[in-house]
Structure 1
Amino acid sequence: MANRIMRNLSFLVMASAAVPAAAQPAPNRLGIAPSAQSQDFVANKQQFQLHSLLTEQRHPRSFDLSTRIAADTADGLAALLSVDEDITAALQGVADDPARLAALEAASRDITRALRDGHRLYFYGTGSTGRLAETIESGLWRPFWQRTAASPAMAKIEARFPGLGERVRGEITGGDRALIASLEGFEDIPEIGRLQLQDNGIRPQDLVFAVTEGGETSAVIGTALAAADQAGADARRTWFVYNNPDAVLRPFERSRRVLDDARITKIPLPTGPQAITGSTRMQATTTSLYVLGVVLEDATRALLREVLTGDELAALGFNDAGIGDRLRGFAAIQRTTAAAAPKLAAWTDREAASYAAGRHATYLATRALMPVFVDVTERAPTFRLSPLDTVNAPERRSWIQVWTPSADGAQAWQALLHRPFHGLDKALYLPPFENGIQDPYLREAALRGLSNAGDEQQALYDLSYSPANVQRSGPQAGDAGALILLGDEAHADANRAWLHAFAAAGAEPVLVSVSARPVASDVLADVAALPRAVPVIAVTVAQRDAFELNQTIALKMLINAHSTGVMAKRGRVVGNTMTSVQPGNLKLIGRATWLILSHVNAVLETPAWREAGGSTTPLGYAEANAVLFEAIEQRRNAPGAGSLPEVELSVVAVLDALKAGAPIDWNAAATHLRAGGLSRYLAPYATATGERAP
């Protein structure tokens, strides 16, 4: 099996390198005339045809995930969590490389210097890395200072470094509203990076960390270049963090601009293919979050050493481990998390069963709110789910909701961000969007996104565990629930009330805890007193650190595997590909096109296909893209197609047409897809050894 997997991986990479997308003809054997938008994408958007990137390849360890997890949930989760071993290897490689380790140590010193001199740190990203940036500020930095405020050491810190807790800003492309769901078109606009830099008041002496998993995101590149323009020749001011090797990025002009810019310091953190193809919310983002968190914590310790004693630092959670030691220490975190797969399976099975029965899930989190919220909101674009419901939604469309003990929505946002909500002011962004975006398709999408990016968006989303929310969308029989605890979190009355309310309603709660200590006895006693058995997933990460980074990373990996496992069990993953992806920006249009092409051509190579119909000319990139854009229209307009993902509908439509030697019949394709999903449709094309066509 391994040989076949590597052959398929090699085929994908070689095909992308050897056949320029724009050079491939679009023969009319499918009866599809390429739309103007498709012709424009194939001819003019090669810079967004990213299938050659390492992060877009299929990972051998999770290659047959959908089959494995359907047969054995724990085995499928173990496969997902095993891919995190690539992070261990990547971080070990950095720790063992004197030059790369020295770059991180230099970043730590520059952060210390900037904070000492009263300057700010600005972390910026798009999508998953935007949520990473906000996690650094609102999930690590601000909670640390909130805890430190209760310490006797705080007076000494404030006297020497006034306002230190306010000097880190994490920003996502599109502002805080984009935490719920990315805003259409924004990530493809370099100019928005400069505008958000200006909007956040970032100055030439501040440090900017522009973070992109792929290394090619236009908005992040725009941020890095704008910051370098501010700072001039001083490369200590602007840092570019990415997860693909330089060699695979150089074909892309916008990436070359950063790689060749001496004013920008590069931090490459390649981790290889992701557990779910292209889903960089997993290994790539985990790697960057851990590295940047370690560097920030190291810099903060160095700064506070100037005013605090060793005992005072230890009381805040700091220890003497250097950056290299912390990077090597990730291996223990990964092993501990992976060992939880058998226990995690009970939660995954419960939640998947609830969704299968048409029920919903609710998570309650306090200190864990940011990593939990991030995982939940990232499910929508990855697996084609409805985003979180608004307070005025006439019916529940989102499968899941996240609550935190707060009186109302405004307090819940404060609990999440630990600062005021920040939307985009149209007065700043509208003129550059209207006059500066030349591409008409991109301009139209960006203007639509801007209309949903302002401060008023805060009131539309209520994350509070409050009477109003309980009345609106409280637990029902058959719902799934999870109480999620992080770090040294006290068992609050709200947690007890939530557990009892869920149990009384006939819902199925679980308890999840990630801490440096075992679960507290009072928590276990409350769980044991419930009328039905409650699974307990407890992960003990022994090392305590000041920012609770180790525990946060362990929880992230745990929930990422769980949510991916749930979606795989619900048919939202085929093999290890995100065939339910929503092609809402140029990168995702390119990814969707490549998924159509690779799934179809893999089937055409199988013995089952050739025995039935002989040899068939492979699908070309332009053909696949034309079909995708037509599928987007069909999904909007064709009866019964509205709930079907474009990639899956396209794969079935193309294979049906090639099998029949006739033009695509969208209605027939929709009927076949609804009958059993893409995995079942592809099952007859399994190889003689029982492997599925990828």
Structure 2
Amino acid sequence: MSFLVMAGATLPLGAQPVPNRLGVTPSAQSRDFVANKQQFQLHSLLTEQRHPRSFDLSTRIAADTADGLAALLSVDEDISAALQGVADDPARLAALEHASREITRALREGHRLYFYGTGSTGRLAETIESGLWRPFWQRTAASPAMAKIEARFPGLGERVRGEITGGDRALIASLEGFEDIPEIGRLQLQDNGIRPQDLVFAVTEGGETSAVIGTALAAADQAGADARRTWFVYNNPDEVLRPFERSRRVLDDARITKIPLPTGPQAITGSTRMQATTTSLYVLGVVLEDATHALLREVLTGDELAALGFNDAGIAERLRGFAAIQRTTAAAAQKLAAWTDREAASYAAGRHATYLATRALMPVFVDVTERAPTFRLSPLDPVDAAERRSWIQVWTPAADGAQAWQALLHRPFHGLDKALYLPPFENGIDDPYLREAALRGLSNAGDEQQALYDLSFSDANLQRSGPQAGDTGALILLGDEAHADANRRWLQAFAAAGAEPVLVSVSARPLASDALADVAALPRPVPVIAVTVPQRDAFELNQTIALKMLLNAHSTGVMAKRGRVVGNTMTSVQPGNLKLIGRATWLILSHVNAVLETPAWRTARGSTAPLTYAEANAVLFEAIEQRRSAPGASGLPEVELSVVAVLDALKADRPIDWNAAVTQLRAGGLSRYLAPYATATGAPGR
């Protein structure tokens, strides 16, 4: 097998290495990280561990795509178990019911709700606003009940704000330096006009994200001793967070109400865009929908509520109901494999993918943009790109880029104003590395960024980056979405160009016959992945979550088939912030020391002193520099380059030869390089 157990003997983090056996002198940044940034060395977190069900993913999916996808989707069973546990625990269930009542009260009294997160949880926050809340009110605007609602609660549809660290530009690609700065959370709270009586939900999958913690503390300072105003939502157990000072500040702050939602390791180690974010999005969506239902019961009849999609299911029933959604989604693995194989083949041939979505636009956009940092891909191309670097693009039926952004956000684009952020960044950030990263990020975060990205299915985009032979296209439908003429034209355009379209639908009802007829009329067979999730709800949360799980499994499967995953570790990770530098260091340490413990290594080399954390980190920072300067190193992930360089050096008992490591890695990839050392026991507890 081509994976290695991330276990075995490792020296304590403070242990001394064999004196410069690798020939690498730690840089100033490396010395600073090891000595002063222990609070970002997060390998002890539950979300950073390897999951046994997907342990050998890269091997399994290479042999059988459907089997690999089934392994990925099976990890979502952990969410079912966790939510069942919350539903069965009176205290934890009461906390969610309390949150629902507080939301109802705040909305009734004319206050706002503010959901804030970084990276994946920032996209979660924006999904709550722009993928659930605002679309619900747009649908409701066509209902006769809207007049009664507006008379009693005017402007209700404008009362929820979801914000990502760095503003809307960070939806395209996270401005990585921002998340390590608590001050930006306070500044964005101020920027969005959040007042002491508003409710703030600070969401962090790890429970340690500095920007989110800054938001929670700033909100608590606003609200004073009233713990009903500030909520902290996270996915790691308290006991593993307590070693981190910034996490303790929140956990021990009586002004902040905590909602812990741990589910366990992620399907891809540390990739919290998967189970952690699915859990928090579903739970917060259920709570918000429950609160909205309670509020609207004050003005609408039962029939009017039912017409809007509400039912009598309470929070506990909804939490238990996740298991049925998960089973329905997981059952689609075999059909999903056709799409995964098709898209992976397009990338292997140097081609591209284009997704078209209307109601599904936000979950589709989120999954696509999260691929770049997870798997070391180029982010979406700007309109002025000289050549296509991104493997994929997302379109929606719109006349131009401005209309497409409106279709995504259902509100104006919101960037960061330098007048507000620049002085605190220049004068209030003591760490020179963080200050430099923050200023660099701020230069790419303003309102002007909107014009650089065009998501429209328009003549301009067809001319700029239209379909070509060998491309993959995916038409993705969500909920009770009608099969529009734009969808038909898109299918025909892709088929005519020799591209390979796929139709994906997640709805409470079977796929409409007109969509099937249009697909059948195309010259080549088109895979159809239709998932029926009969549990309807007003916000279409159930269908959105099912689509999210499908997309997460599909995109991860594609990247695993393209060699961007080793075992179930994200060895292509981009070390662009302190947390990811820590993760990359741990991956180097773990993969190297796992090899040193194998019988194959010991037979050939005897006992070798394990790599230390300081050595691994020094090599990582050197690899970052080598990637910029060494011939042929551009495009190689730092973790993979480091693992090969270290093992080659230890094998030959000589300093690291970066050029030789580049040659080795380019010859066959990390999985092939590690194959001779694969453990005989296989993955633990599949």
Q: Give the alignment's TM-score, normalised by structure 1.
A: 0.97
With over 3 angstroms needed to count, the CA separation of the structure-2 counterparts of 1:433 and 1:71, relative to structure 1, is same
Alpha-carbon contact 1:22-1:43 (below 8 Å) kept: no
Alpha-carbon contact 1:54-1:248 (below 8 Å) kept: yes
Which whole-Å deviations, capped at 9, do the CAs of 1:294-352 have from their partners, x for residues lacking one? 00000000000000000000000000000000000000000000000000000000000
With over 3 angstroms needed to count, the CA separation of the structure-2 counterparts of 1:693 and 1:626, relative to structure 1, is farther
Cα distance in 2 for residues equivalent to 1:326 and 1:27: 58
With over 3 angstroms needed to count, the CA separation of the structure-2 counterparts of 1:50 and 1:667, relative to structure 1, is same
Deviation at 1:689, TM superposition (A): 4.9
| Residue 633 (structure 2) pairs with residue 611 (structure 1) | no
Alpha-carbon contact 2:589-2:611 (below 8 Å) kept: yes
Which whole-Å deviations, capped at 9, do the CAs of 1:435-472 have from their partners, x for residues lacking one? 00000011001100000000000000000000000000
Alpha-carbon contact 1:686-1:693 (below 8 Å) kept: no
Alpha-carbon contact 2:4-2:567 (below 8 Å) kept: no
Cα distance in 2 for residues equivalent to 1:326 and 1:17: 44
> What SS is found at the alignment partner of 1:394?
coil
Cα distance in 2 for residues equivalent to 1:529 and 1:345: 23
Deviation at 1:649, TM superposition (A): 0.1
Identity %: 93
Cα distance in 1 for residues equivalent to 2:420 and 2:9: 41
Cα distance in 2 for residues equivalent to 1:195 and 1:12: 43
Deviation at 1:157, TM superposition (A): 0.2
Alpha-carbon contact 2:3-2:59 (below 8 Å) kept: no
Deviation at 1:14, TM superposition (A): 11
With over 3 angstroms needed to count, the CA separation of the structure-2 counterparts of 1:99 and 1:14, relative to structure 1, is farther
Cα distance in 2 for residues equivalent to 1:350 and 1:129: 30
Alpha-carbon contact 2:595-2:677 (below 8 Å) kept: yes
With over 3 angstroms needed to count, the CA separation of the structure-2 counterparts of 1:326 and 1:504, relative to structure 1, is same
Greater shift, 401-410 or 610-619, is seen at: 610-619
Structure-2 residue corresponding to 1:488:
480
With over 3 angstroms needed to count, the CA separation of the structure-2 counterparts of 1:527 and 1:653, relative to structure 1, is same
Deviation at 1:690, TM superposition (A): 6.3
With over 3 angstroms needed to count, the CA separation of the structure-2 counterparts of 1:218 and 1:232, relative to structure 1, is same
Which whole-Å deviations, capped at 9, do the CAs of 1:409-459 have from their partners, x for residues lacking one? 000000000000000000000000000000001100110000000000000
Cα distance in 2 for residues equivalent to 1:12 and 1:254: 33
Deviation at 1:20, TM superposition (A): 5.3
Deviation at 1:688, TM superposition (A): 3.6
Greater relative contact order (CA < 8 Å, ≥ 6 in sequence): 2
Deviation at 1:26, TM superposition (A): 6.4
Structure-2 residue corresponding to 1:239:
231
> What SS is found at the alignment partner of 2:92?
helix
Cα distance in 1 for residues equivalent to 2:595 and 2:51: 19
> What SS is found at the alignment partner of 1:482?
strand
> What SS is found at the alignment partner of 1:664?
coil
With over 3 angstroms needed to count, the CA separation of the structure-2 counterparts of 1:666 and 1:300, relative to structure 1, is same
Cα distance in 1 for residues equivalent to 2:68 and 2:264: 20
Cα distance in 1 for residues equivalent to 2:364 and 2:91: 35
Cα distance in 2 for residues equivalent to 1:67 and 1:438: 45
With over 3 angstroms needed to count, the CA separation of the structure-2 counterparts of 1:632 and 1:463, relative to structure 1, is same
Alpha-carbon contact 2:205-2:276 (below 8 Å) kept: yes
Alpha-carbon contact 1:683-1:692 (below 8 Å) kept: no
Cα distance in 2 for residues equivalent to 1:14 and 1:261: 35
Which whole-Å deviations, capped at 9, do the CAs of 1:598-656 have from their partners, x for residues lacking one? 00000111111111111111000000000000000000011100110000000000000
Deviation at 1:25, TM superposition (A): 3.9
With over 3 angstroms needed to count, the CA separation of the structure-2 counterparts of 1:105 and 1:632, relative to structure 1, is same
| Residue 11 (structure 2) pairs with residue 19 (structure 1) | yes
With over 3 angstroms needed to count, the CA separation of the structure-2 counterparts of 1:586 and 1:10, relative to structure 1, is farther
Gaps of 5+ in 2: none
Alpha-carbon contact 1:606-1:693 (below 8 Å) kept: no
| Residue 520 (structure 2) pairs with residue 548 (structure 1) | no
Structure-2 residue corresponding to 1:227:
219
Alpha-carbon contact 1:184-1:448 (below 8 Å) kept: no
Say which of 47, 52, 60 aligns to 1:68: 60
With over 3 angstroms needed to count, the CA separation of the structure-2 counterparts of 1:42 and 1:13, relative to structure 1, is farther
Cα distance in 2 for residues equivalent to 1:317 and 1:77: 32
Cα distance in 2 for residues equivalent to 1:203 and 1:339: 45
Deviation at 1:543, TM superposition (A): 1.2
Alpha-carbon contact 1:608-1:687 (below 8 Å) kept: no
Cα distance in 2 for residues equivalent to 1:14 and 1:358: 33
> What SS is found at the alignment partner of 2:501?
strand
Deviation at 1:21, TM superposition (A): 2.8
With over 3 angstroms needed to count, the CA separation of the structure-2 counterparts of 1:304 and 1:26, relative to structure 1, is farther
With over 3 angstroms needed to count, the CA separation of the structure-2 counterparts of 1:107 and 1:11, relative to structure 1, is farther
Deviation at 1:691, TM superposition (A): 6.6
Which whole-Å deviations, capped at 9, do the CAs of 1:562-618 have from their partners, x for residues lacking one? 000000000000000000000000000000000000000001111111111111110
Which whole-Å deviations, capped at 9, do the CAs of 1:386-407 have from their partners, x for residues lacking one? 0000000000000000000000
Cα distance in 2 for residues equivalent to 1:648 and 1:584: 16
Gaps of 5+ in 1: 1-8
Deviation at 1:385, TM superposition (A): 0.0
Alpha-carbon contact 1:481-1:509 (below 8 Å) kept: yes
Deviation at 1:184, TM superposition (A): 2.9
> What SS is found at the alignment partner of 2:4?
helix
Cα distance in 2 for residues equivalent to 1:303 and 1:30: 65
Which whole-Å deviations, capped at 9, do the CAs of 1:521-560 have from their partners, x for residues lacking one? 0000000000000000000000110000000000000000
Alpha-carbon contact 1:657-1:665 (below 8 Å) kept: yes
Cα distance in 2 for residues equivalent to 1:551 and 1:693: 31
Alpha-carbon contact 1:26-1:623 (below 8 Å) kept: no
Cα distance in 2 for residues equivalent to 1:27 and 1:233: 53
Which whole-Å deviations, capped at 9, do the CAs of 1:350-407 have from their partners, x for residues lacking one? 0000000000000000000000000000000000000000000000000000000000
Cα distance in 1 for residues equivalent to 2:45 and 2:455: 37
Alpha-carbon contact 1:487-1:516 (below 8 Å) kept: yes
Cα distance in 1 for residues equivalent to 2:18 and 2:681: 34
Alpha-carbon contact 1:383-1:580 (below 8 Å) kept: yes
With over 3 angstroms needed to count, the CA separation of the structure-2 counterparts of 1:691 and 1:90, relative to structure 1, is closer
Structure-2 residue corresponding to 1:432:
424
Structure-2 residue corresponding to 1:253:
245
Cα distance in 1 for residues equivalent to 2:574 and 2:37: 18
Deviation at 1:686, TM superposition (A): 1.8
With over 3 angstroms needed to count, the CA separation of the structure-2 counterparts of 1:16 and 1:231, relative to structure 1, is farther
Cα distance in 1 for residues equivalent to 2:545 and 2:350: 31
Cα distance in 2 for residues equivalent to 1:358 and 1:480: 11
With over 3 angstroms needed to count, the CA separation of the structure-2 counterparts of 1:341 and 1:389, relative to structure 1, is same
Cα distance in 2 for residues equivalent to 1:184 and 1:17: 32
Alpha-carbon contact 1:602-1:693 (below 8 Å) kept: no
> What SS is found at the alignment partner of 2:5?
helix
Cα distance in 1 for residues equivalent to 2:33 and 2:474: 43
Alpha-carbon contact 2:4-2:594 (below 8 Å) kept: no
Deviation at 1:22, TM superposition (A): 4.1
Deviation at 1:687, TM superposition (A): 2.9
Cα distance in 1 for residues equivalent to 2:277 and 2:16: 34
With over 3 angstroms needed to count, the CA separation of the structure-2 counterparts of 1:582 and 1:336, relative to structure 1, is same
Alpha-carbon contact 1:656-1:669 (below 8 Å) kept: yes
Say which of 471, 476, 480 aligns to 2:468: 476
With over 3 angstroms needed to count, the CA separation of the structure-2 counterparts of 1:12 and 1:576, relative to structure 1, is closer
Deviation at 1:38, TM superposition (A): 0.1
Cα distance in 2 for residues equivalent to 1:168 and 1:690: 48
Alpha-carbon contact 2:45-2:241 (below 8 Å) kept: yes
With over 3 angstroms needed to count, the CA separation of the structure-2 counterparts of 1:134 and 1:691, relative to structure 1, is closer
Cα distance in 2 for residues equivalent to 1:320 and 1:507: 46
With over 3 angstroms needed to count, the CA separation of the structure-2 counterparts of 1:282 and 1:665, relative to structure 1, is same
Which whole-Å deviations, capped at 9, do the CAs of 1:129-166 have from their partners, x for residues lacking one? 00000000000000000000000000000000000000
Which whole-Å deviations, capped at 9, do the CAs of 1:207-240 have from their partners, x for residues lacking one? 0000000000000000000000000000000000
Structure-1 residue corresponding to 2:399:
407
Structure-2 residue corresponding to 1:116:
108
Alpha-carbon contact 1:139-1:371 (below 8 Å) kept: yes
With over 3 angstroms needed to count, the CA separation of the structure-2 counterparts of 1:11 and 1:572, relative to structure 1, is closer
With over 3 angstroms needed to count, the CA separation of the structure-2 counterparts of 1:10 and 1:522, relative to structure 1, is closer
With over 3 angstroms needed to count, the CA separation of the structure-2 counterparts of 1:683 and 1:15, relative to structure 1, is closer
> What SS is found at the alignment partner of 1:30?
coil
Cα distance in 1 for residues equivalent to 2:12 and 2:609: 17
> What SS is found at the alignment partner of 2:2?
helix
Say which of 329, 344, 360 aligns to 2:352: 360
With over 3 angstroms needed to count, the CA separation of the structure-2 counterparts of 1:295 and 1:340, relative to structure 1, is same
